[in-house]
Structure 1
Amino acid sequence: MHRTILPPWLGVVVADDVERVGADRGDEAVEVPLLLRLDEPARTWTDAFPVGNGRIGAMVHGGTGDELLQVNDDTCWSGAPHDGPVEPVGPLGRDGAPGVVRRARRLLADGDPLGAQAELARLQSGWVQAYQPLVDVVLAHGAAAGDAGYRRTLDLARGVVTTTWTSATGVPWRQDVLVSHPDRALLLERSTAGAASDAGEAWVRLASRHPWADAPAPVDAPDGDPRAAVVVATLDMPSHVLPDWVPGPDPVRYGGRSVHAAVALAVLAGDAASVEVVDGAVRVRGTGRLRVVLTTATDHDVATGTLHGDRARVAADALAGLRHALADVDGIAARHVADHAALMGRVSLDLDAAVPDLPLDARLVRHAHGEPDPHLAVLAFQHGRYLTVAGSRPGTLPLNLQGIWNASVRPPWSSNYTININTEMNYWPTLVGDLAECHEPLLAWLDRLAVAGAATARTLYGVRGWVAHHNSDPWCFTGPTGRGHDSASWSSWPLGGAWLARHVVDHHDWTGDDDALRRHWPVVRGAALAVLDLLVELPDGTLGTSPATSPENHYLLPDGRAAAVSVSTTSDLAIVRDLLEQVRRLAHVAGDHDESLRAAVDGALERLPTERVAPDGRLAEWRTDVPDAEPEHRHQSHLYRVFPGTSIDPDSAPALAAAALRTLDARGPDSTGWSLAWRLALRARLRDPDGVAALVTAFLHPVDADPSGGDGSARGGVYRSLLCAHPPFQIDGNLGFTAGVAEALVQAHRRGPDGVREVHLLPALPAAWPAGRVRGLRLRGALRLTELTWRDGRVERAVLEADRPAVVDVRAHGSAERRQVVLQPGRPAVVVAPA
């Protein structure tokens, strides 16, 4: 038996009332402030604070005399649904695309990887489309201009950006901005405690980077209210946008089939005010209270990925949404806060640290100079959850590279779905952060992606199931990117579907929702069929992949040239093995009793090599020991089975875990923002608290206020607003950071030899966090860590709950000692320190 005597700090109590147990020990919850604060208006777009409801996103700049809200709608993308399968650039030859793959395989066997890369370039089939900005709401209010006492905050708990200041004439002002999920509307409210006569004149207008189809024009205000004005506008997204890094004479095209969008805007003023529409803009005079309400609509149906093409209907939808919101405009804010707080309040983290009375940018610089500020980690952890709540709700599209916030027609990397790590990382914190409903947009999109990827699997590879390569979009692009010139290091990688399928598995592991597993099982099954058909027998009798890449990385050939294509890369085999193991484990739960599939999976797993340790002690990335072209490369895909996989840790595979740590050491201390977040999760899984601490510090490095006095924009970290810098901005790092912190506090991925799940408390707690409390994290096995409290780095108290009967082994701090705990729904198990 692997269990030992319960360590002296641990005792297990089963209680009907968790709050009563230990209540006399001063364990009452303490509200940790969750305010991001800056003491000046945004100087750049990344200085602004994001608000959103999953569909509408806005960046709030916090201007006083001139305010800017940059608004997105998550359905606004360039392009349109695809007709037919992918079309490789070719030429392909009489044996089609599968013949290209076979020729590349032969070239690799003959020792010519560069020739194989040139052959595979024939399969490239264009690029994904780009996420688009919608409109700007511009508020010109000269009488309110001023900077005295200025403060701008984003309240993560309430989902509201608040700006307070005093105008140059001594009048105090306050502005609140939010985007309501219940009312499907953006609300800006600006008010003063001064006299309405001090408010002067304000103008509100809409602007867009796209040409108007119908310019902003007035419509009747609700009930003919003279203190209100309403304008409606329509516009079309581009029919095609080239990626920002691809040159071309016509990178942005309008006029073809594309998304039709509409915006409806209401401006409401207080008593005795004058409101009128002049040339599509709204002029307001003499009001101490100004409210702006905005709704959007498009013809893009995210459930089906289709466009209905009726612009008039879109305008009517936007106006109907606005009238619905205005029916009880006074209740919008309260309904929003209640809805947002209900999700955010499920999880709290307190690192028992003081909160300095300083703006965020100053705190980041002090922290980078070595001043302890554990509360920054709390803010960054909850910021990831906030961005999930604000950016991903049932019925929306999945979070893209920038979530739902983007100001550029040609954004970095098209602000697309980059599925060789970044899209997956976007959803790492969702389940552990008790936001399972926010995971739904990814799963729903995967159902459609798998259908599109089936045609790509047949066309390019002649295999069953479905595949996707490294980029996609709402139109479910699944082919290799490029027109014959993209690097094989990213383009020639057909395992995007296999990686994404793990999210279906993870959703079941965390929630225990068998119905959801059955509903999305075709995603998993189809990905497994594809990899089974893609595997080839190698000369040593093993199964492997050929051609193969390690996403976006290169190795050096004997003549010093860099190559990307190889045979049986470690990341390929890790992803394939993980997927097939999950199919074997869960097929019966999903109702899949296909014995031929089970036999094929079992046979493949017997012949798939596992990871190996290279002569230098690192986990090998390539099949042979070749030099790295870029030793500190940002991707570490060959560590897949450490994290997000669950197979390699210091207990289950100590030699491989040690090699993985050496790999991370060799990658160096700095990288892009999202890579730092991935390395944080990897270090936590490998139980390296010092590594976790170093990566927290590296991630919180202020790239736009470098403490060394130099230009910090060349390395990863965060902007003043705490948004992650790749650089440029990518949201995946913010979300990956949250997952990495959770991994340092609790892990529940392992099962013992008897199948009992292990709950490991504080497996990688940094020394800089000696005391704290976390409440509400969800764990694999449909478990909940209702509370975990620690002091001096040791567990004081933990409370576990289960959604269904369960047996778990509890351990802490990397100790080998475990205690078995039986959990019943509604009866928390309370682990307390002796009195």
Structure 2
Amino acid sequence: MKLQYNRPSSKWTDALPTGNGRLGAMMFGGTETERIQLNEDTLWSGGPRNGDNEHAATVLPEVRRLIGEGQYAAADLLCKQMMGPYTQSYLPMADLYVKFLHGNTMKNYRRALHLEDATSTVEYQIGNVIYTRRLFVSYPDQVAVLRLEASAPGKLHFLARLESPLRYETAFEENCLVLRGDAPEQVDPSYYETDMPLRYGKPGSANAMRFDGRLTAQLEGGQATYGHDGLRVEGATAVTLIFSAATSFNGYDRLPGTEGKDESAEAAGYLENAGKFSYEALLQRHTEDYQVLFKRVELSLGESAVPPEYPTDARIRDFGANDPGLVELLYHYGRYLMIASSRPGTQPANLQGIWNEETRAPWSSNWTLNINAEMNYWPAETCNLADCHTPLLDFIEGLSRNGHKTAETNYGAAGWTAHHNSDIWRHSSPVGDYGHGDPIWVIWPMGGVWLCQHLWEHYAFGLDKKYLREKAYPIMKGAALFCLDWLHEDKEGYLITSPSTSPEHKFKTPEGGLAGVSAASTMDLSLIWDLFTNLIEASTILEIDEPFREGLLDVRSRLHPLQIAANGRLQEWSRDFEDEDQHHRHVSHLFGVYPGRQFSWQDTPELMEAAERSLEIRGDGGTGWSLGWKVGLWARFGNGNRAWGLIANLLTLVDAGETNYHQGGGVYANLFDAHPPFQIDGNFAATSGIAELLLQSHQNVIHLLPALPDAWPSGHVKGLRARGNYEVSIQWEEGKVLNSTIVAGAGGLCKVRANAPLSVESEDGEVIAEQNQDGTIAFETVPGGRYRLFRA
């Protein structure tokens, strides 16, 4: 349950992450100088603005005409006139440097990240003195805490200072270092070039996000002096450094300069409140809060043969997925990262969670809505972290408001829409710098439709009707209203989307060129099917909107049928185009398998077979997040061994200097997912994929061990969640379910399928159900009821 190393980190992707959803810290663990790189999740460039494009509605009919005539290259070119500005960028806040004055002849070095209590530690010896450090970021107290200790009295001597890669100034107040600065008003629009300038406005500009960071010290022995060069401590035995931070962000629709919060007062308030507690009390408050979430789930995939003190980087290199303990660590690391980057009241986890050291982060470290933002939250419900899902759900609500204006302005449509990218300002329009982007990722108005799946899933797992009625349903309905206007009939009378892309993948045109836009991509149709299906169920549950529900049923039945190609694969586009790259990292056309529920071996075997053939053709390579998605897909196909092979590919050590944006995959030394470069979505996809191998519930039945790999013949898992508000634990031996415990949160009819014959008994020991001929068990549950399933 820890990541551990025998040397300091030399690169950012060797450093160890901690966070509380809002503040993020990367601890390098140096001996002469410690560097802790710091982020605050609302520190972004720019401010709210209108990115909608009135001209898009004018050219839309012509784009559709060109597509209908098969002039795909011409349609691609015209689509450039439908674009808007790029999103803004997530930015780093500061670095805390601690320079130690104890010499450099060091031995017995250890560095670790402890997942059980969310602390990062360093320990080493100089002479006869053992020096230790412990870092944590507290959610209850909203501060980062660094504890420094020496084993001998009076042996701590250091200088601490704060710096920022942004425009800043430093000052010192009574018992406090202060760093103040502002973010650029604009980051020049390039996803790949990192040397382009930041555009700063004048200090105090309406569009400039301000930030404030503060550092203070609690000493046990010694003296502390605050000055222009930083905080100097001499002769201490133990020191607790406390860092607080805040920005002027005051909502996605308010200018952070003139309408912003008082960031200095907020940062000072956090520091003052935290200063009321001792180090021991701060640690206890942090640990108790964190463990409420983390201890909900246990996992054992078998005995590990790796020695307990084996360094994690060497463990990845030497054993990979052959070590079940490392797979367990990867699984829990994803849960840890979610707790650390997404808590109620924060922004949702972005492309890098909350950890970013670059002023020109890859892809602006924004929310990429054609897979990555959604993938971040796949583990939230299944892995018992529904609390951590709420930042994304809140984000969707704000995005839908801006998206309403985009739908009306760009397309003359009702409802709301969002596209490929978004940022803290809830950007909803197509990006591309007004014509410089590529339509294969820009022209995709399905971002809101996909995000709505998360609104439904949060209900499906928790069964909170008030949430469904007051929050989820109205937003989902708004996305459906857009789809109803966006869909139109083709020559055969089917309803299609046009222009339509399969995100980031091109096809070969009949003339031999390449294009991105066509009509009725499989992903579009699957997303709309999913949204309509969820809304139909929601309106039935809430007993509302019957005419609207009937209309959705009719429109869903008239969607263009999904097609199977001549080679047996599920077509990615409505026509049997040849792929630009048959091994492409995106597998968008397989949404109906996972994370959707449109396909199943029971109800749509032909489509499942075609989808499986598509995944076989795609192969087992890809970027880190792509490998993670494929784990979940093979789990849904029931092929655990193929999924395990992808986990093995993911648990491949990547050099931190590798920056190939579209190939590779694997993990860095700190287990961060490597696209490369770093993207956190692959971590979350791996965690959710491992859960899908052990438990599935998307087809109205709780399926125990639906795709258990042969590599995990014995083990147990406790605390996973299934749709219907059930908590599930499973123990297995020789690849078969031995027993399971299901706790019913809401009650109702529970159906279970397992790979071994089971019986069910209630809490009082009465056998209430046995397996049916179809391999399922059905039994009535009561709220709070606990039911034991055991091998018959």
d(CA) in 2 for partners of 1:433, 1:685:
17
Q: Is the 8 A contact 2:747 2:785 kept in 1?
A: no
Matched residue, 2:504: 552
1:788 aligns with 2:754: no
1:254 aligns with 2:200: yes
Matched residue, 2:225: 276
Q: Is the 8 A contact 1:545 1:572 kept in 2?
A: yes
1:293 aligns with 2:249: no
Given the superposition, is the C-alpha separation of residues 705 and 245 from structure 1 closer, same or farther in structure 2, using an over 3 Å criterion?
A: closer
Compute the displacement of 1:39 (Å): 1.4
Compute the displacement of 1:352 (Å): 2.3
Given the superposition, is the C-alpha separation of residues 574 and 65 from structure 1 closer, same or farther in structure 2, using an over 3 Å criterion?
A: same
1:762 aligns with 2:705: yes
- Range with greater deviation from structure 2 (136-145 or 730-739): 136-145
Which aligned pairs between 1:522-533 and structure 2 lie closer than 5 A?
522-533=474-485
Compute the displacement of 1:107 (Å): 0.6
Matched residue, 2:590: 639
Q: Is the 8 A contact 2:322 2:648 kept in 1?
A: no
Matched residue, 2:515: 563
Matched residue, 2:360: 410
Compute the displacement of 1:663 (Å): 1.0
Amino acid in structure 1 at the alignment position of 2:510:
P
Matched residue, 1:122: 81
1:210 aligns with 2:156: no
Secondary structure of 1:603's counterpart equals helix
Say which of 215, 227, 233 aligns to 2:179.
Answer: 233
Compute the displacement of 1:310 (Å): 7.2
Matched residue, 1:31: none
Compute the displacement of 1:807 (Å): 1.3
Which aligned pairs between 1:455-494 and structure 2 lie closer than 5 A?
455-482=405-432, 483-494=434-445
d(CA) in 1 for partners of 2:753, 2:775:
6
Q: Deviations over 1:493-527 (max 9, x none)?
A: 00000000111000000111111112322220110
Amino acid in structure 1 at the alignment position of 2:555:
A
d(CA) in 2 for partners of 1:458, 1:663:
36
1:325 aligns with 2:291: no
Say which of 20, 35, 39 aligns to 2:6.
Answer: 39
Matched residue, 2:771: none
Q: Deviations over 1:200-236 (max 9, x none)?
A: x300000000111xx322222xxxxxxxx31222111
1:56 aligns with 2:20: no
Q: Is the 8 A contact 1:234 1:311 kept in 2?
A: no
Compute the displacement of 1:248 (Å): 11
Matched residue, 1:698: 649
1:731 aligns with 2:680: yes
Q: Is the 8 A contact 2:522 2:573 kept in 1?
A: yes
Matched residue, 1:341: 291
d(CA) in 2 for partners of 1:748, 1:551:
28
Matched residue, 1:77: 44
Secondary structure of 2:134's counterpart equals strand
Matched residue, 2:753: 811
Q: Is the 8 A contact 2:525 2:560 kept in 1?
A: yes
d(CA) in 2 for partners of 1:504, 1:783:
18
Compute the displacement of 1:809 (Å): 2.0
Q: Deviations over 1:746-767 (max 9, x none)?
A: 111113xxxxxx1111010010
Q: Is the 8 A contact 2:183 2:210 kept in 1?
A: yes
d(CA) in 2 for partners of 1:304, 1:311:
10
Matched residue, 1:17: none
Q: Is the 8 A contact 1:217 1:280 kept in 2?
A: no
Amino acid in structure 1 at the alignment position of 2:785:
R
d(CA) in 1 for partners of 2:692, 2:699:
13
d(CA) in 2 for partners of 1:462, 1:489:
22
Say which of 21, 44, 58 aligns to 1:99.
Answer: 58
- Range with greater deviation from structure 2 (599-608 or 788-797): 599-608
Given the superposition, is the C-alpha separation of residues 503 and 144 from structure 1 closer, same or farther in structure 2, using an over 3 Å criterion?
A: farther
Matched residue, 2:765: none
Secondary structure of 2:330's counterpart equals helix
Given the superposition, is the C-alpha separation of residues 302 and 166 from structure 1 closer, same or farther in structure 2, using an over 3 Å criterion?
A: farther
Amino acid in structure 1 at the alignment position of 2:684:
L
d(CA) in 1 for partners of 2:398, 2:634:
34
Q: Which has the higher contact order (CA 8 A, sep 6+)?
A: 1
d(CA) in 2 for partners of 1:293, 1:124:
45
Compute the displacement of 1:548 (Å): 0.7
Secondary structure of 1:719's counterpart equals coil
Runs of 4+ in 1 over 4 A off after TM superposition: 246-250, 302-306, 709-714
Given the superposition, is the C-alpha separation of residues 621 and 728 from structure 1 closer, same or farther in structure 2, using an over 3 Å criterion?
A: same
Q: Is the 8 A contact 1:305 1:474 kept in 2?
A: no
Q: Is the 8 A contact 1:233 1:315 kept in 2?
A: no
1:496 aligns with 2:447: yes
d(CA) in 1 for partners of 2:730, 2:122:
35
Compute the displacement of 1:176 (Å): 0.3
Compute the displacement of 1:656 (Å): 1.4
Amino acid in structure 2 at the alignment position of 1:100:
V
Compute the displacement of 1:280 (Å): 4.5
Compute the displacement of 1:268 (Å): 2.5
d(CA) in 1 for partners of 2:298, 2:195:
51
Matched residue, 1:755: none
Q: Is the 8 A contact 2:20 2:342 kept in 1?
A: yes
1:745 aligns with 2:664: no
d(CA) in 1 for partners of 2:510, 2:356:
44
d(CA) in 2 for partners of 1:191, 1:105:
68
Q: Deviations over 1:276-310 (max 9, x none)?
A: 12214011111121221001111213476653647
Matched residue, 2:741: 799
Aligned residues with identical type, % of pairs: 37
1:672 aligns with 2:638: no
d(CA) in 2 for partners of 1:42, 1:522:
48
Q: Deviations over 1:511-549 (max 9, x none)?
A: 111111123222201100000100010111111111111
Q: Is the 8 A contact 1:136 1:207 kept in 2?
A: yes
Given the superposition, is the C-alpha separation of residues 591 and 332 from structure 1 closer, same or farther in structure 2, using an over 3 Å criterion?
A: farther
d(CA) in 1 for partners of 2:755, 2:511:
48
Given the superposition, is the C-alpha separation of residues 127 and 814 from structure 1 closer, same or farther in structure 2, using an over 3 Å criterion?
A: farther
Paired residue total: 767
Compute the displacement of 1:601 (Å): 1.0
Matched residue, 1:774: 717
Aligned-pair RMSD on alpha carbons? Answer: 2.1
d(CA) in 1 for partners of 2:352, 2:196:
24
Compute the displacement of 1:44 (Å): 0.6
d(CA) in 1 for partners of 2:372, 2:717:
27
Matched residue, 2:376: 426
Instruction: Give unpaired runs (5+ residues) of structure 1.
Output: 1-33, 221-228, 752-757
Compute the displacement of 1:422 (Å): 0.2
Secondary structure of 1:150's counterpart equals strand
d(CA) in 1 for partners of 2:448, 2:618:
27
Q: Deviations over 1:8-65 (max 9, x none)?
A: xxxxxxxxxxxxxxxxxxxxxxxxxx11112111111010110000110000111111
Q: Deviations over 1:619-639 (max 9, x none)?
A: 111111111101111111111
Which aligned pairs between 1:591-740 and structure 2 lie closer than 5 A?
592-593=544-545, 595=547, 597-704=548-655, 714-740=663-689
1:136 aligns with 2:95: yes
1:264 aligns with 2:214: yes
